[in-house]
Structure 1
């Protein structure tokens, strides 16, 4: 591999083309073909499958160009490999023994981290002729169309689900694991008691409802850039229709993190956009939407902050456990004794919500603390913060969009797990930013 301090120079002659070459098929298969992967039962794990052909292409293209900043991510992956030494350990305040579930979870994360490295290197080493920037951005926009369709499915048919081919093939001891089942069993929505009563929250085509929320906001950014900023009249009309339709599952998702992320995106747009009139129209449109019946749903969600106590318990327990292995963590999550209501460790007749909250389940930052210690969390923050610093002066639409996604990655790490699809979208956005800087400064 060859580390570089300046992005590659894309061929100027191919800059006007928006049609990807044949070598870009794994990227198109991942983003445009995502609904097929979801139906098969792979979902976000599709990147692991597609990393194989991407890795073969990179092997033939040696030496491989490594984007500046990827060194931090490589250190993060190396640190996770080292954390395997602590898989059998049990930090104070937790319980559980080393078993197949813990080992399988660790290996899945390790394979995913390595696959994401391959994905970024693959995108970085494709020329503009092989994969034009606008084509890549529009592929992200195509995944947003899938996200909106899945969100509407979750609102209109929340009980929709089916057994995937992967689920049929796997043995029961694997497919029956709650975490694995959530990944391989396609469902339209999660039914949760966020408002004090059972309410469906859209999750298709991603792993869970929170993943749908975070991914929706990231993909919305790229959809607007590809279909509005760089789109013709027809694409712009479609953009308006799709964004209006997306408002329904966005509200019904009851996802406060998503709402905060969209608010941050609006502020970013108003501060940095040169189209001041268009920027000012965004909050006006939001106010008009909330003035209707959807506004009452938002108000109910804000009045039902019951999850705050759960998060406070798991976060404090995670930090306390991580303090006993601050450098390399424990390799995987752990179960805490009790919960915020009781010191008991299971459901009772008087406490149906008592259970075993997995530490690190309330956000990527907390997951890194328990799995890789404070070192892993610092490397993660340094990677995204360094990307923002490096590309903050890129005033192009793609540059501003990519920087905004990096900001959201740091915001969401407090409330959303990055695994599995979220990290994929973050790192694709990083690659888009890096490629964009290369196209501007040959």
Structure 2
């Protein structure tokens, strides 16, 4: 059996080996570990190519470095002292932001012979299967949990921190009272239920591309089976943001599908929706839509975040803060009925709000500009990978209102960005080859196709470049 190139192992370990990292207690923090070998690969390949738009992300990281100056400040309406927990939280986010930069540059500077586009897409598909399995575990065995090796090693004062515990303590589901009674919301193999919701929608996009669009009969059968199984934890997640994201994805597919395929896609989706509404899962969706109590909590947190951000609009406060009270009372806390109650910290209701409290309006603007710029640059890429990646960039802008990006969500967002960048570079290489004297010869097509990991089709001594070479 032919082994993959050694340079591919870090990303393979991250995506295909993610269940092992989760069981060990690293989860999304595994990126920090794997960024080291990724950086080694980059160092050996200097000079390093950088994608357009990465300067905005560099400014975002630089701004976060400056926000350390205000870690000890407290905006009006908040409480808490500068302690080890706040400093550790800031440091962890900073290292993750830097690791994301390393990962994107690493992926973009691997040749397509070392890591074909379809291989990377199918790695994301493998993580999608893991995510669906974790979601089903959360539905069928919501009490499943165990102490990870990382949790055993860490000092108790760190491992018992609620935020850290979510990252290092593997659990199948979060028990919440969203419907007025205790109900499980799947989260395995990620840090919390909302992270599972954000990630499954992105991974399903790539799973369909890798296993349906580019798959044979066996892969397509598996794709249909996994997608059908995914509906169970998707519904039980009670995650309205996820449901809206999937609706946006469906609308996007209908708008961008070719005219002859759009009606077929629409009919198939309509039939699936009718069958779903008629089934038992439809009633759970109805119950969730009738229980919008979390809207008031979010409204309070967002309003408090905006108010706090106005007092440090340029560099923010470096980390989250706790607000006095909640939308009902000046006091808030745990009860016997709800052990997890207590108002969430400011910035915990979405990446946009986290950026506002940690980096001010400047950080939020840079984040939006980075992903919106990717949508603008790659919108004309009509290949399956190009359209899927652009859809993910749109979902990022949607999810920033309701989902935190850190830890695992931003990893998937930035891998999707790297896929778009790699796709654009391959297309540019094919375009450039058409301008070389002699046209696009069979030899040149074979060279590009070999790099892309795709078969070639030729009709003579010269021919047009195959789109499959970079799809």
* TM-score, reference length from structure 2: 0.88
Report the equivalent of 2:275.
Answer: 288
* TM-score, reference length from structure 1: 0.94
Deviations 1:152-186 (A, max 9, x none): 00000000000000001111011011110110000
Distance 1:20 1:287, change over 3 A: farther
Distance 2:134 2:351 in 1: 24
Equivalent position SS for 1:441? helix
Distance 1:300 1:349, change over 3 A: closer
Cα offset, 1:285, TM superposition: 1.1
Report the equivalent of 1:257.
Answer: 241
Report the equivalent of 2:20.
Answer: 36
Report the equivalent of 2:411.
Answer: 424
Report the equivalent of 1:334.
Answer: 321
Distance 1:350 1:404 in 2: 41
Distance 1:48 1:362, change over 3 A: same
Distance 1:151 1:353, change over 3 A: closer
2:91 counterpart (90, 107, 115): 107
Report the equivalent of 1:5.
Answer: none
Cα offset, 1:346, TM superposition: 3.8
Distance 2:330 2:68 in 1: 29
Report the equivalent of 2:160.
Answer: 176
Cα offset, 1:279, TM superposition: 1.9
Report the equivalent of 1:404.
Answer: 391
Matched, 1:314 2:301: yes
Report the equivalent of 2:35.
Answer: 51
2:223 counterpart (224, 239, 243): 239
Distance 2:417 2:338 in 1: 44
**Structure with the greater alpha carbon radius of gyration:** 2
Report the equivalent of 2:311.
Answer: 324
Report the equivalent of 2:451.
Answer: none
**Is this contact kept in 2: 1:339–1:354, CA < 8 A?**
no
**Is this contact kept in 2: 1:162–1:187, CA < 8 A?**
yes
| Structure 1, unaligned runs of 5 or more | 1-17
| Structure 2, unaligned runs of 5 or more | 430-471
Report the equivalent of 2:439.
Answer: none
Matched, 1:279 2:265: yes
Equivalent position SS for 1:200? strand
Cα offset, 1:256, TM superposition: 0.3
Deviations 1:8-61 (A, max 9, x none): xxxxxxxxxx98522111000000000000000000001110000000111111
1:302 counterpart (285, 289, 296): 289
Distance 2:133 2:339 in 1: 34
**Is this contact kept in 2: 1:43–1:206, CA < 8 A?**
yes
